[in-house]
Chains A and B, each alone.
Chain A
Amino acid sequence: MEARARNLYLVPYVLWIVLFVIAPILLIAYYSFFNVEGQFTFENYAKFFTPVYLRMTLSSFWYAFLITLFSLLVAYPTAYLLTKTKHKALWLLLIILPSWINLLLKAYAFIGLFGTYGFVNTILEVTGIGKKQILFTDFSFVFVSVYIFIPFMILPVYNALEKMNPTLIDAARDLGASPWMTFRRVVFPLTIDGVKAGCMAVFIPALSLFMITRLIAGNRVITLGTAIEQHFLVTQDWGMGATIAVFLIIAMAILMLLTGNRKRGLIDIVKR
């Protein structure tokens, strides 16, 4: 009776898994072996290892790394200070609220803010620095991306900090550790899981951004995401797009395995 009911519930869900999880991945892998004319070939993979695509992959990883690093540098102190405020829940809600606003609108706002006659340039002029080209530069790309990803970094770090036992800090202080030492040896190691979760939540989407690269970076920055979008929707070279997607999936899987294993290792250490 129970088993039959369970199987009944399982049917639509498994159908979903087969159709929308397994089939798409297989299709991506399958398409990566076909060229524009629809012939079976390995040339997409050969093309991926030419300097053009390798440089693009490298720069994509570099930008994703920068975005993750700056997000962490801004988010960690913010999360830490948030745990010290009086009305934590309210402050946290206020931090998360902007992340509910449609991404497109935020990117669009920066077109206005960073424009030639925009707010930032007006300030630069008043302070005597003078007008600068801000939009369509690497700086604006990284800045806007960090802006968009910060809430996703703050949340896991905040949760990790909240879970931490505050008496450990007192203990460290009593034993004569300086604030920096306490942070480096006690607080940071104990919140490393939150930091990792945050980095994963930022790094993978940052690798595959394509809307911001077009609107803010004016096609100057080409990420893996932009390349996939370009191949699928502009040049209609689905095979090459699928090949890049295959490498993105592999990179993602490796990253997840790395962080997952480390987490398991940590749990083992704690258990011991």
Chain B
Amino acid sequence: MSKGKWRLSNLYLIAVFVILYAPIFYLMFYSFNSGGAMRNFEGFTLEYYGEVFQDTRLLIIVLNTFIIALLSAAISTIIGVMGAIAIHYIRSNRPKGTLLTLNNVLIVSPDVIIGASFLILFTIAGVQLGFVSVLLSHIAFSIPIVVIMVLPKLQEMGGSLLDAARDLGASSWQVLTKVILPYIKPGIFAGFFMALTYSLDDFAVTFFVTGNGFSTLSVEIYSRARQGVSLSINALSTLIFLFTVLLVIGYYFINRRNSRPTGKEVRT
């Protein structure tokens, strides 16, 4: 490849990166603007960060968002792992295929359809719209993601390991807790983490099933953004961005720590 071409391709990549990151840094930059709008930077201020931390309503919403995310990720991980193990042990192809297809329905469905259909479901079932309905729907759309993350690990495991454990006299409970679960742990972590981020990120489904009294961060930002620009949203988004970066770094290290011991286990 000639040198000029190389430079041009680098330029293209850099341009894509600049465009991808520009809006995020634009938001962060103006969160320090004392001018009060996303234009004409007048002076540095932390006023809006103070505003965020004094806004009890907003803080409660942030707390709600995290409670929903952690609870839904934990519950969906449990159900998802059970489902993945069950699917893995179904021997005949037909029911297995049906289950997998049904599993993927919620992954490929647009959020609007999930939200609308859950709204009908909760109304018919008499579930009050609010915390419970949001939690249930977050669990519901996270389960298939967990299954998808865990299944490949189960397939990778192979049968001989289980046969060995059983030959050595392990009960089914021991096989599960001492062999299967440790082996698929990276998949479980990945599934939990994906569920967490899907829940934190969700707007459309929550918007449908949230009702009047309860709100998550995405829904709150939407209703505030519709009223126009307010720099406390910028301050909040800066905080969220930093948190996201921390989360990604954390995930990266969890992944690395997990991949090492499993590698060792396979070898010995």
A and B bound?
yes
Give the B-binding residues of A (Cβ under 8 A).
1-2, 5-7, 9-10, 12-13, 16-17, 19-25, 27-28, 31, 74, 77-78, 81-82, 84-85, 91, 93-95, 97-98, 100-113, 115, 117-119, 122, 147, 150-151, 200, 204-205, 207-208, 210-211, 214-215, 224-225, 228-229, 232-233, 238, 241-242, 245, 248-249, 252, 256
- In the assembled complex, how far is the CB of residue A217 from the closest CB belonging to chain B, in whole angstroms? 13
Residue B51 is within 8 A (CB to CB) of chain A in the complex: no
**CB <8 Å contact, B9 and A81:** yes
Q: A13-B83, A100-B248, A211-B222 are in contact. Are A21 and B106 (CB under 8 A)?
A: yes
**Cα distance A9–B83 in the bound complex, in angstroms:** 6
**CB <8 Å contact, B116 and A242:** yes
- In the assembled complex, how far is the CB of residue A257 from the closest CB belonging to chain B, in whole angstroms? 12
Name the residue on B nearest A91 (C-beta).
B13
**CB <8 Å contact, A238 and B24:** no
Most buried by B among A20, A85, A97, A122: A20
Interface size on B, residues (CB 8 A): 76
**Cα distance A200–B201 in the bound complex, in angstroms:** 20
Interface of B is mostly: helix
- In the assembled complex, how far is the CB of residue A49 from the closest CB belonging to chain B, in whole angstroms? 20
- In the assembled complex, how far is the CB of residue A248 from the closest CB belonging to chain B, in whole angstroms? 6
Out of A2, A16, A200, name the residue touching B89 (CB < 8 Å): A2
Q: List 5 A-B contacts (CB under 8 A).
A: A9-B85, A13-B83, A101-B244, A104-B221, A119-B26
- In the assembled complex, how far is the CB of residue A266 from the closest CB belonging to chain B, in whole angstroms? 20
**CB <8 Å contact, A207 and B12:** no
- In the assembled complex, how far is the CB of residue B142 from the closest CB belonging to chain A, in whole angstroms? 10
Q: A101-B24, A204-B110 are in contact. Are A12 and B203 (CB under 8 A)?
A: no
Q: Which residues of B contact A238 (CB under 8 A)?
A: 120
**CB <8 Å contact, B113 and A115:** no
Q: Which residues of B contact A23 (CB under 8 A)?
A: 121
**CB <8 Å contact, B201 and A112:** no
Q: A215-B226, A248-B113 are in contact. List 20 more A-B contacts (CB 8 A).
A: A7-B86, A9-B85, A27-B121, A28-B116, A77-B12, A95-B16, A98-B20, A100-B248, A102-B200, A108-B27, A108-B233, A108-B237, A112-B30, A117-B37, A204-B110, A207-B110, A211-B207, A225-B112, A238-B120, A248-B112
Residue B229 is within 8 A (CB to CB) of chain A in the complex: yes
**Cα distance A85–B221 in the bound complex, in angstroms:** 37
**Cα distance A183–B261 in the bound complex, in angstroms:** 41
Q: Which residues of A contact B203 (CB under 8 A)?
A: 102-104, 211
**CB <8 Å contact, B23 and A1:** no
**CB <8 Å contact, A106 and B13:** no
Q: Which residues of A contact B218 (CB under 8 A)?
A: 102-104
Name the residue on A nearest B222 (C-beta).
A104
Q: Which residues of B contact A105 (CB under 8 A)?
A: 24, 27, 221, 233, 237, 240-241
- In the assembled complex, how far is the CB of residue A246 from the closest CB belonging to chain B, in whole angstroms? 9
**Cα distance A61–B136 in the bound complex, in angstroms:** 32
Q: A74-B16, A98-B24, A105-B221 are in contact. Are A115 and B38 (CB under 8 A)?
A: yes
Residue B59 is within 8 A (CB to CB) of chain A in the complex: no
**Cα distance A188–B252 in the bound complex, in angstroms:** 31
Residue B204 is within 8 A (CB to CB) of chain A in the complex: yes
**CB <8 Å contact, B208 and A232:** yes
Most buried by A among B9, B90, B245: B9
**CB <8 Å contact, B110 and A241:** no
**CB <8 Å contact, B13 and A81:** yes
- In the assembled complex, how far is the CB of residue B99 from the closest CB belonging to chain A, in whole angstroms? 7
**CB <8 Å contact, A84 and B120:** no
**Cα distance A78–B11 in the bound complex, in angstroms:** 11
**CB <8 Å contact, B248 and A97:** yes
Name the residue on B nearest A150 (C-beta).
B20
